[in-house]
């Protein structure tokens, strides 16, 4: 099998170019003011211009209102939206635009019900649960909670690093792995060596699966 790699929390055009040179398949732009990796609309649009046609441009939003979502679609022109907050299925689906639904793995979560409700065309991203953060915690969850059989794209996130991504790929066999803090030297500053190592480890681990 093959696994795609998403580098999330890109904060500059230079980082976008670096990650693409390293082999990233997707780049995430966090348009959420409370994140340490936040970029505003203008900055996100500037970064978007540096993302090649073969690389997926993802705009991450957390509890944005309808007007802001429409503005992101129009001004940033992402390939896909990522709803990472408490958005309802109806809210996510109203834009007739491809989206990824992030599911934070809280205790007692009914995964089948969540998947059935959202029907996210871009797939489902599974992240660690935190009561006070909507992602980027650097924490991982028990990967064994994820289904081995599914009929949707599965994106694995939460506490991934160059040191553990191979194990994650071998255990979960995700369609994509997503990393942010695990390849940084400081919040919002991607480390080129860590980015390259993460991508290499993920891709190597998928060979033969």
How many beta carbons lie within 10 A of that of residue 115, not counting itself? 19
Active site (annotated) includes residue 8:
yes
Q: How far is CA 116 from CA 17, 113, 124, in A?
A: 36, 5, 11
Q: Which of 92, 127, 132, 178 does the annotation list as catalytic?
A: 127
CA atoms of 18 and 8, how far apart (whole Å): 13
Question: In 52-182, which ranges are E strands?
Answer: 56-61, 80-83, 99-104, 124-127, 154-156, 176-179
Active site (annotated) includes residue 65:
no
* Residue 141 and residue 14 in contact, taking contact as beta carbons nearer than 8 Å: no
Q: Which of 8, 25, 92, 178 does the annotation list as catalytic?
A: 8
Q: Could you give the residue numbers annotated as active site?
A: 8, 127
């Amino acid at each position: 099998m093959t696994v795609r790699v998403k580098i999330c929390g890109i904060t500059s055009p230079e980082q976008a170019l670096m990650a693409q040179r390293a082999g990233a398949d997707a780049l995430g732009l966090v348009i959420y003011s409370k994140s340490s990796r936040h970029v505003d609309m203008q900055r996100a649009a500037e970064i978007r211009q540096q993302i090649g046609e073969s690389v997926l441009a993802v705009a991450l939003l957390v509890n944005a209102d309808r007007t802001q979502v429409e503005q992101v679609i129009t001004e940033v022109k992402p390939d896909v939206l990522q709803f990472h907050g408490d958005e309802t299925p109806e809210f996510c689906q109203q834009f007739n635009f491809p989206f990824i639904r992030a599911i934070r793995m809280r205790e007692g979560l009914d995964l089948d019900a969540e998947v059935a409700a959202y029907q996210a065309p871009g797939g489902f991203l599974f992240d660690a649960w935190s009561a006070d953060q909507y992602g980027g915690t650097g924490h991982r969850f028990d990967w064994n909670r994820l289904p081995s059989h599914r009929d949707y794209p599965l994106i694995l996130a939460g506490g991934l690093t160059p040191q553990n991504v191979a194990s994650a790929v071998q255990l979960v066999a995700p369609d994509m792995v997503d990393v942010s803090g695990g390849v940084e030297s400081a919040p919002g500053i991607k480390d080129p060596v860590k980015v390259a190592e993460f991508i290499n480890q993920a891709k190597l681990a998928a060979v033969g699966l």
